[in-house]
A and B are shown apart, each in its own frame.
Chain A
Amino acid sequence: AQSVTQPDIHITVSEGASLELRCNYSYGATPYLFWYVQSPGQGLQLLLKYFSGDTLVQGIKGFEAEFKRSQSSFNLRKPSVHWSDAAEYFCAVGEGGGSYIPTFGRGTSLIVHP
């Protein structure tokens, strides 16, 4: 069965610093991978997704993620964090095909210091 591990429950960074959120997945074939962001009191918004092809994926709000098959990882990065990036970030993995159901990690809470 597919699973996702986000090893960091909380991450604290200073505004303007770079950010990397870790995600490791367990899945036998080539996975579909996603990062979502959830602001307080809001639903989840898709930041970016990887299906195939270029392993470096660009998303919205200046985020990017890199798929590394050898490490079963899909880490999220941003070169310069803004205070508005403070939120909960979820990594998700799904199997290929049209009607799969993604499995979500438990999330990483990002705290941004001024």
Chain B
Amino acid sequence: DAGVTQSPTHLIKTRGQQVTLRCSPKSGHDTVSWYQQALGQGPQFIFQYYEEEERQRGNFPDRFSGHQFPNYSSELNVNALLLGDSALYLCASSPNRVSYGYTFGSGTRLTVV
């Protein structure tokens, strides 16, 4: 049984560009949450998707947007990249919006130059 799969594993982008990160949740999970983990920091909540809608959002600008597909997979899009967006982006899946059932992926390391 595959866990949470994220792609790509590493990515280098230039300031001002746009990026799309992808996440496939664990089998049986229908909720996807995205976190940003800057170097030396804990994960910061970006937003949560359930039933193809954004249900909750953390303190992140509108440059961060997402989508959830009917198969529960999800994308995180970041526009107009800043150097400060460099971080590990983690996807966590869970069943029925229950966050204490999180299963995390290994993350996508985004570097903005």
Instruction: Give me the interface of A with B, judged by CB distance under 8 Å.
Output: 4, 32, 34, 36, 41-46, 49, 51, 90, 92, 94, 98-107
> Can you sample 22 A-B contacts with CB below 8 Å?
A34-B100, A42-B106, A43-B90, A43-B104, A43-B105, A44-B104, A45-B104, A49-B100, A90-B42, A90-B43, A94-B100, A98-B98, A99-B97, A99-B99, A100-B99, A101-B45, A101-B48, A101-B56, A101-B99, A102-B99, A102-B100, A107-B40
Which residues does chain A contribute within 8 Å of B100, judged by CB atoms? Answer: 32, 34, 49, 51, 94, 102
Which residues does chain A contribute within 8 Å of B96, judged by CB atoms? Answer: 98
In whole angstroms, how far apart are the Cα atoms of A99 and B45 in the complex? Answer: 13
Q: Per DSSP, are chain B's interface residues mostly helix, strand or loop, or mixed?
A: loop
In whole angstroms, how far apart are the Cα atoms of A51 and B106 in the complex? Answer: 26
Q: Which residue of B lies closest to A49 (CB)?
A: B100
Instruction: Give me the interface of B with A, judged by CB distance under 8 Å.
Output: 4, 33, 40-45, 48, 55-56, 58, 90, 92, 96-100, 102, 104-107
- Are B43 and A46 in touch, CB under 8 angstroms? no
- Are A94 and B90 in touch, CB under 8 angstroms? no
Which residues does chain A contribute within 8 Å of B56, judged by CB atoms? Answer: 99, 101
- Are A44 and B48 in touch, CB under 8 angstroms? no
Which residues does chain B contribute within 8 Å of A46, judged by CB atoms? Answer: 102
Q: Which residue of B lies closest to A101 (CB)?
A: B45
On whether A105 and B42 interact (CB within 8 A), knowing A43-B4, A99-B99, A100-B99, the answer reads yes
Which residues does chain A contribute within 8 Å of B102, judged by CB atoms? Answer: 44, 46, 102
Which residues does chain B contribute within 8 Å of A98, judged by CB atoms? Answer: 96-98
Nearest Cβ on chain A to B48's Cβ, whole angstroms: 7
Nearest Cβ on chain B to A28's Cβ, whole angstroms: 18
Q: Which residue of A lies closest to B4 (CB)?
A: A43
